[in-house]
């Protein structure tokens, strides 16, 4: 069953974030993930969620998604993202 990593991101350091963006895609590819949503306009329909950059990644399984997130491959880019953004990141199983 597919699993999804969903992140909402507010960029606080654009230059560092661009470095992150250049490094992260190869790690996602290596772990069999793919982008379903990467930025774009956000329209909040309900609630008080700020309209932040939203990213949705799809992986074959929860294990593969977790494998990518906790991998050595992603460790470096993840540190850049943490320094360059205010983020919320979650993982969910598909149906």
Q: What is the pLDDT of residues 38-55, one digit of tens each?
A: 988 888 889 887 778 999
Q: What is the pLDDT of residues 53-79, one digit of tens each?
A: 999 999 999 999 999 999 999 999 999
Q: State the Cα–Cα distance between residues 51 and 58, nearest whole angstrom.
A: 22
| Full-model pTM | 0.92
Angle between helices 72-84 and 14-30 (to 10 degrees): 160
User: What are the structural domains of the chain?
Assistant: 11-39+58-95 (3.30.70.100)
Q: What is the pLDDT of residues 4-35, one digit of tens each?
A: 999 999 999 999 999 999 999 999 999 999 99
């Amino acid at each position: 069953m597919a699993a999804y990593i969903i992140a909402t991101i507010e960029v606080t350091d654009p230059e560092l974030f661009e470095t992150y963006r250049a490094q992260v895609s190869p790690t996602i590819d290596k772990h069999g993930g793919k982008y379903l949503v990467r930025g774009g306009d956000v329209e909040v329909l309900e609630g008080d969620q700020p309209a932040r950059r939203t990213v949705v990644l799809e992986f074959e399984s929860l294990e593969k998604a977790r494998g990518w997130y906790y991998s050595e491959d992603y460790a470096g880019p993840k540190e850049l993202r943490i320094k360059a953004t205010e983020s919320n990141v979650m993982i969910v199983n598909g149906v």
